[in-house]
Chain A
Amino acid sequence: MTAWLVGLTIGLPWLGALIVWRIPDHYPQRQHGIAVIASLLTAAVSIGLLTAHSTEVALRLHIGGIFGDFILVPDGLGVLLAAIAAIIGSLTVIFSVAYMEHEACLNRYYALVLIFIGTMAGLGLAGNLLLMFFFWEITALCSYALIAFDHDNPAAVAGGLKALVITQLGGIGLLIGALTAYGRFGTDEIAVLLARAETLPKTELNLIAFSFLIAAMAKSAQVPFHSWLPGAMEAPTPISALIHAATMVNAGVYLLARFYPAFEDVTGWTTAVMTVGIVSALMAALMALVANDLKRVLAYSTISQLGYMVFAVGAGGIFASQFHLLSHAVFKALLFLGAGAVIHSVGTRDIRQMGGLWRSMPQVTIAFVIGAMALVGIPGMNGFWSKELILERGLDEASPVFVVGLLIGVGLTALYTLRLVWLVFAGTPRFSAQVHEAPSAMRISLGILAVGSLTTWLLASPLSKMLAETLPYHHLHSETTRDVISDVMAAPITALALVCVALGFLLWGLHDRLGWLIARLQLLSQIASQDFGFEALNRAVMRSTSTLAERLRSTQTGELNWNIWGIVAGLVAILIYVAVEV
């Protein structure tokens, strides 16, 4: 039974993709319909899978040779990721029915989305490293193809390529780590790595730990590998919601959480993870503060929130990180889809050209504000509980510097979120287009997600129970929702965090009178708006590579005599090597 559920969660969307890909553009209704049905079925199956979680191998496919077995294990971490992918996936597909109306090549769009959903579920459920890497790379491939979906837009193509290359660079980390483990154990099963990590030579364990960290940083867009995520905002907005907010970017956090027990004793690893998280959280928050592109603000905020999750893993808060992952997936998907509705009707992504939208699209405004409140961490929202858990964990485990960083981050989040909401929905309109309320398909998705943002924190007990039951190496103990509430309420840091939120709001409220401060911070804002120089670094690497390529190309002169020189030089080099060896 479990095997069927696992197989269907991955296979159903793939099958749907195959079918929808075969439907030509003349039948948009069929394209929409099949995509919606396939994704809804997947979501239903994935809910079934949630209940069937276990530590046992559900599917084992013998491949042979070095490739060993392909294993799928529906443990807590895995089914959570799979369910998020399937459910948010189906909501984005529904949203797309309205958003992508009248677009060309819908069959390709839906096929890629469905392949992505299946692959993401597979990534969570993979029980061996090769299969995990396999899915890891396919998600990157889908992400690339969907970012560059509009292949005539050079920015989209460049963004897709950048996302592909950077996540692939990170993928090398996963590759090296996986192969190192394989080289010692002769198998790439994740359970074996977790069980026998201490038996590895110290250097190799270090190598695995830090290369996995690099992989996670690239996938979860942590500084300094973050710059692909803002670039990925060229994708259609539902894609941004699904891949670049709710699911794929979580894969890094998931990876760290999954292997935390193996690496927790590696010297400096937890500190490195926490540092990465904090630095990303703060820098991304600053960048969100100065960005003017609606989707980019959300992208930076995603980086920042992922930073919190990464930090939580580093601090040993596996449950806190996964809890926040769940909350974030819901409220960030909501925010992105809300932004999509706004962009769809206003026709621009520049928040300086929006404003006053609450009058014309009140329902979208309400949904968006709920998402924003969850993002800020207003009590009662799902983001509040999960974020407070992370803060609490930080206070317990990490040095005060980190805690201060976390709190500043909370304040900054409040500040940029309020700025965003204010500029988009409040004040007077700064555009001329006729704006209507979003179509019903969009509102359905938004409504469900808004309800989710208000309620998913109630799932704390089953989630915690599931994780504690199925992750034998993580030594988690199960917490009930009541425990979570009392913990959070009792923790002193909750109050501090709320003060920070209030301060953040206050800063925005007073920003007209704080001209002197803003002027002082001009330099910082300039640096932040230029991506702290990482963008320039990327460009420099790209430019130098292509210069090198160009130089090398000029050695291919096409002259026969020159070619012979090459051959003779090669022979001489070989003979010199031989002479040295003899």
Chain B
Amino acid sequence: MDKLGLLLVAAYCAIQAIRTTNLLLSVLWLASVSALTTIILFTLDAPQAAVIEISVGAGLVAVLLVFAISIAGEETLHNHDTLWKKMLRRFPLITVLFLLLWILLPLPETQPGAKDTATFSTILWEDRALDVLLQIVIIFSAVLSLLGLLADQKLPAAVQHYAAPHPLNEAASPTEQVAIVDDEPILEPERELA
């Protein structure tokens, strides 16, 4: 019953996280969902998972979100050039650091479950070594993607106005599929970035 109660509270926090208009508040609500998750994991006899959840889920993810909000959550980009560029470069680095942290975390051992053949760390590091190896693959490809996405590259000369809907491919008659000739350019340059 207590778990259900906790879950309902978590669900309430989750709704708040989604409904609130303030992004930072939203992240805080998410962090509280994470904290409640941790408690539920404890009550479900999964303390190690709980620790990781609180460190990664409530910690790292929340930090990342705040980062992202500080970079992207504001309306204009003009005044933050130097600041966000600095932060941007550290973004992957910080991610990796946090991940290393949990790997190195000393975790308390608990008794195996009734049908478990081994303890947590044996299962994780030996029985399911493949999963762990794959985590490395996942982290590696994520880091590559991050580097790719956030690489310090020349921004296009103009931030392009993208919101206006455009009849990209309106109907043509079926037998002769002729493309519509676009008179107006799809992307209109709107303002220059200094």
Contacts and interface: CB of A to CB of B under 8 A. Distances in A.
A550 B174 CA distance: 10
A157 B175 CA distance: 8
Contacts of A157: 175-176
B175 A158 contact: yes
A545 B171 CA distance: 13
Contact of B176 (A154, A542, A545, A550): A154
A546 B174 contact: yes
B119 to A, nearest CB: 37
B171 A161 contact: no
A542 B171 CA distance: 15
Contacts of A542: 174-175
Nearest to B169: A553
Nearest to A158: B175
A546 B175 CA distance: 10
Interface residues of A, number: 9
Contacts of A154: 175-176
A interface: dominant SS: helix
B175 A550 contact: no
A457 B173 CA distance: 50
B178 to A, nearest CB: 10
Contacts of B173: 546
Interface in A74-113: none
A161 B177 CA distance: 13
B19 to A, nearest CB: 15
Contacts of B174: 542, 545-546, 549
Contacts of A546: 173-174
Interface string B155-194: 0000000000000000101111000000000000000000
Nearest to B168: A558
A3 to B, nearest CB: 45
Interface string B6-19: 00000000000000
Nearest to A542: B174
A164 to B, nearest CB: 12
Nearest to B176: A154
A272 to B, nearest CB: 33
Interface in A523-580: 542, 545-546, 549-550
Contacts of B171: 550
Nearest to A543: B174
Contacts of B176: 154, 157-158
Contacts of B175: 154, 157-158, 161, 542
A157 B171 CA distance: 19
B169 to A, nearest CB: 9
A304 B19 CA distance: 73
B170 to A, nearest CB: 10
Nearest to B165: A558
A157 B176 CA distance: 8
A546 B172 CA distance: 10
A315 B173 CA distance: 45
Interface string B124-147: 000000000000000000000000
A81 B175 CA distance: 34
A161 B174 CA distance: 11
Given A157-B176, A161-B175, A546-B174, 11 more contacts: A154-B175, A154-B176, A157-B175, A158-B175, A158-B176, A542-B174, A542-B175, A545-B174, A546-B173, A549-B174, A550-B171
The list of the 6 closest CB pairs from A to B, nearest first, reads A546-B174, A158-B175, A550-B171, A154-B176, A161-B175, A542-B174
14 contacts: A154-B175, A154-B176, A157-B175, A157-B176, A158-B175, A158-B176, A161-B175, A542-B174, A542-B175, A545-B174, A546-B173, A546-B174, A549-B174, A550-B171
